[in-house]
Amino acid sequence: MELVNGKYQLEGGIDPLQLCKTHGTPLYVYEASTMQRQYERITKAFTYPKVHIHYACKALTNLAVMRLFREWGAGLDCVSIQEVQLGIMAGFKAEDILYTPNFAGFDEFDEAVKLGVKINIDAIPMLENWGLKHKDIPVCLRINPHLMAGGNEKISVGHIDSKFGISIHQLPHALRVVESQGLIVDGLHMHTGSDILDVDVFIRGAEILFEAARKFPNLKYIDLGSGFKVPYKVDDIETDVEELGEKLSTRFAQFCEEYGRELTLMFEPGKFLVSESGHLFARCTLVKQTTSTVFVGLDTGLNHLIRPMFYGSYHKIVNVTEPQFKPRIYTVVGNICETDTFGSDRRIAEVVEGDILCFYNAGAYGWMMSSNYNSRPRPAEVLIYNGKAHLIRKRETVADMVQNQLPVTP
């Protein structure tokens, strides 16, 4: 969304205020052109010929969005059997889906086998279970490289205390299980976390996987996960994927020559692909001044966008209705009976009741982490594609929220 001649416009010159009038608020809006730009950016960054990008759909698991990535050539990274099922519904081929669950029951793995998708195992006990039932089906191993990435323990998943992956120090144990049960390992995987700025973190992680890979003779692919940082503020820093593509293409080609065959290099970005495409629009319900703070209250809250409260994440906030008004200092809060502060001491064009405010970078983990807390329905979703606005999810109603509830019969 850009400010053009004093008014905000979405892709194709679409007026966000008109969208809010048509569909109501709160409202999630995504720009497909931004998603495509990010996808093409990462695919073009690599000169190595066999690079495959899997969209980590947990970031935004709407069928319309998933279908776009499928059309652009992406595979799919799924962390639950339900995401796998949605991926099949969105038209992805089973062989283009990697199922990477965490502490899932073996019934989910059985279902994934029936669906024919790639399987990623991140625990030695599950690897042992696999050998008892599906030893002839190839698997990928998720390795924890013990790299602290991103600098935030809530978004770093490759450190030594993480629940994710098989510790690199447990590799000899994993190898014994593989050899004793005659398992076929055709892939190695790692994911160290989010908001990784240092390209060399990926390179160090890759070197750890390369060393492990030499112990597995039947590999077809190596998956380096994701964690690319996107900018949240003006002049914010981001992961230099072009530098990563240049360095890793050369190093991966070298490794494949050492390994004796050309492997597929995989990544599974989610936030990188969809975060900047998304905006959450909300209406000001009240401006309230206390002894020390001026609050702007909205018709949304942590039930619709929990990232600022959960992760401490920053989202740019603007007044869409009156962008040219004199700025004032506000603390922006939600309408939930909790401390749901979106941003403190923000400089925003003066706000009055009824004004529409917008949160930037709301495409990833916005709607997907929303809830019905305080019995409030979840927002509608709109996708702007080829210059037109398409409603891709209807706004929930109270009837939707209670449809699965059953009365108690005396």
Count of H helices and E strands in the chain? Answer: 12, 20
Main-chain dihedrals φ then ψ at residue 34, nearest 5 degrees = -70, -40
For residue 148, give the nearest of 189, 192, 206 by alpha carbon. 192
Structure tokens at 22: 């048509």
Average pLDDT along the chain, 410 residues, taken 10 residues at a time? 94 97 98 97 95 97 98 98 98 98 94 97 95 95 78 48 87 96 96 69 86 96 89 81 92 96 96 97 97 97 97 96 96 97 97 98 97 98 97 98 94
Q: Is the overall model pTM greater than 0.85, yes or no?
A: yes
Q: Say what angle helices 32-44 and 241-259 make with each other, to 10 degrees.
A: 40
**Amino acid identity at 294:** V
| Strand ranges for 195-292 from DSSP E | 221-223, 264-267, 278-289
Give the Cβ contact number of residue 17 at 10 Å.
Answer: 14
Where do the domains of the chain lie, and which CATH numbers do they carry? 2-30+275-402 (2.40.37.10), 61-269 (3.20.20.10)
Spatial neighbors of 252 by CB under 8 A, at least 6 apart, are 48, 206, 222, 263, 265
Main-chain dihedrals φ then ψ at residue 25, nearest 5 degrees = -125, 155
CA-CA distance, 318 to 316, in Å (whole number)?
Answer: 7
For residue 229, give the nearest of 175, 271, 291, 170 by alpha carbon. 271
Structure tokens at 327: 């700025």
pLDDT of res. 157:
46
pLDDT of res. 228:
84
pLDDT of res. 298:
98
State the catalytic residues: 337
pLDDT of res. 162:
78
Q: Say what angle helices 171-181 and 124-133 make with each other, to 10 degrees.
A: 10
For residue 280, give the nearest of 23, 39, 68 by alpha carbon. 23
CA-CA distance, 56 to 289, in Å (whole number)?
Answer: 42
Residue showing tokens 């995401």: 83
pLDDT of res. 233:
79
Main-chain dihedrals φ then ψ at residue 346, nearest 5 degrees = -90, 140
pLDDT of res. 160:
63
pLDDT of res. 110:
97
CA-CA distance, 133 to 138, in Å (whole number)?
Answer: 12
DSSP β-bridge partners for residue 118: 98
CA-CA distance, 348 to 342, in Å (whole number)?
Answer: 13
pLDDT of res. 123:
95
CA-CA distance, 9 to 6, in Å (whole number)?
Answer: 10
